[in-house]
Structure 1
Amino acid sequence: MRNTLGGLRPWLHDRPLITDALLAVLLAAAAVPLARDAALFGGPAWPGGPGPAGVGLIVAGCLLTALRRHRPFLVLFLVTLAEVTLSALSMGGSPLWPATLVMVSTVAARRGLALSLCALAVSLTGRLASAAARGDLGDWTAQLLVAVLTVAFWLVGRSLRLRRAYLSELRERTERTARAREADTRAARAEERSRIARELHDVVAHHVSVMTVQAAAARRVLASNPDGAREALSAIEETGRTAMAEMRNIVGVLRTDPASPAERGPQPGVQEIPALVEQMCEAGLRTELRVERADGGAREAREAREAVTAGGPNPGGAFPPLPAGVDLAAYRLVQEALTNSMRHAGAGAHAWVTVRHGPGELTVHVEDDGQGPRAARAEAGRASGGRAAAERIGHGLVGIRERVALYGGVLRIGPRTGGGFEVRARFPIKD
């Protein structure tokens, strides 16, 4: 039984005309018998009952309520007119005022405040006109009762309209919130994809460049120095493993299967810069690392290769703790700058990396004394005979600008005084 009612309600809700027609039939079926005792409606009983004309007006007035959703004010006016006509012809009470109450409530629930007030005035005016036609206008008790009931039905209709408007506003607000949430989700996904793209570019560009240089060196000394070639191949293998491990950690965040969660390894930071400098030295780019603190004193100023191979103090120990985002951005900046120096500075170039932790800021400075990317771009363009090779240079520098701007830093990229190229960034550090 409950399932039947649960299925009937949506069916009737989608077909309001059927519900209104049933209401109109019930009103008509109740109005005709009650017309014999019209005193219930504020007037004397009809002697002998209503005639055929009276029954026709009663039935017509009640059946008009079937159209209450489409033309409520017009239906109210016609029902009120039928009630006044019955009172004027029969001089008895009219059983149509319950239908009038239904129409007053309908107009108040489905039309604006001004039209609903007009409907209330029409109903009260029609009731007074019917009482005047019957000659019982002086019965103020009955008139007051009808007026109170009419105002009560009007208030019920207004409450239904306000509730319907409130629920509609809640639905619209929920839809707007859902759309805003979807937009935020899309923006977050786009930002995450952009971050992953920057990370992948930095990892692939650096490690592939190092592996290319080491492979070229191994090829040149393969016949004359097999041990050196073997060391270069071992370095290529290690570099490839490192690159695969970093890419696995980065791309792992794209996995959506909860059964196989992504492996999240620690992100590199400034503590790994000495190892990065050592790797560049092994690849053939002479690189020096200098770490400075707020007191202005240089903690280390030697080639990273010498520091590690000789068992000297590790420059990485001089790095203070940094925010995770700034820590990663500084490492990627050094990585991209050294990769560009190795690719574009030319043979015999020398690079310097300076990391200074000052009061409230971190300064990272990478410079070389090579020919610079502009000369390398021109040379690459002449070698390839087209613009495509030249246009592919510099995407990493765009990523550096985005990283520095993300953390409110200041970046300078350009030629170095005295020749070469430099990348200098200053990151603000908050307590």
Structure 2
Amino acid sequence: MGWLRRLFDERDKLVRTVLLDLSGVGYLVFSTHDGRAQSVTQWVLAVVAFTVALLLHRRPVVNLVGQAALLLVAICSISDITINQVGASWALLEATMSARRARSIWLAAGLLVAVDLTDSIGDPLDRVLSGVFGLSVEVGVPLLLGLVIRTSRELGRQAEERLEEERRRRASESRAARADERSAIARELHDVVAHHVASMVLRVGVARHVLTDLDPRVSEVFDDVHGTGTAALADLRRLVAVLRDPDGIRGDAALTAIDPSALPAALGAAVDRARQAGVTVETDIDPAVGSLDAVRGMAVLRLTQEALTNVAKHAGTSALARLSVTVVDGAVHWEVSDDGGGWVSAAVPSGGGHGITGMRERVEVLGGQLDAGPTGAGWRVSSVLPSALPPPAAAPAPAPVAPAGPPPAPREHDAPAGPHAPELA
């Protein structure tokens, strides 16, 4: 019923009314009744009907009442009532399409039936039955057509609402997936960066107490390093507080750090798990990945795990996957592709998962860009992690240099709390 919606669009009432009036004028000009031109009375009633239809095109129920009144006058005054019959039927059609309540539709139809039946008062039975049959055309057709168009509009509106609701749901799920990935990155930031910074601060603090006979300039450098490290820890606490919601972290998002030298073995373990699931995996891993920093090393591991999981999930266990990790001029070139496992398409479905969203979020945090899409019958995911992290928006102000003198009293973070860094936030 798409053509009905376009033809009887709610915004085109005036256009339809003008076309109807023009067709009425054409009927009056070119038609004759008993070999004679239309009478003056019929012209007057027709012009009044045309004017009422134009003036009241935005108030269909009132227009119907006016057209029904003019039809009653025409029945009592002239023999050819075609113009007024068509005007009243059309007004019923517009009222049926636009009325807010069903009761208004049935009252309007009843009014038009009553007016049409006045033309049969005093006629023989056969003419009365003929008039009743004519109501199916004058009242039944516009009523039925109006109800069909009204229902079509309602179904279209409901479909648009469902589409908008689905769009909002997907956007909400995408934001939730990005938030979960940010939580995971925040945990890794704590485990990797804070651990090393806290260790540096600890060692500098110990050196300040053990080495007492130092040149004042060296002591000043130690104090500067110690103060800068302490300020860095404070900045990390604020950053983690922004990125992480402690109450909303999923269990599977609580990730730990990885020693860079252990990255090749961790990648091999991820490949072995994929092979145990039935996926055939070919690897090309540059030995230089063992010298990556901990942050990019963790990103490469998580990207590999997610990509191989997607291969098993979407391409099937009969798929052939290829993992490539190379280091070129300090930048990490990472790629996972598959042959689709014999499927027509191994594209990741548009809904139901957020693996690609999380991977893209992780790569963008490191200043890279993730490319994902079909390739032949399979799927390909690739990224380049630059050799350096993107610069921060605003560098923290350096901590003031402590004056030379006797070593300050030990601080709370000068003593180790265990084998790990102190908990942030």
Which is greater in Rg? 1
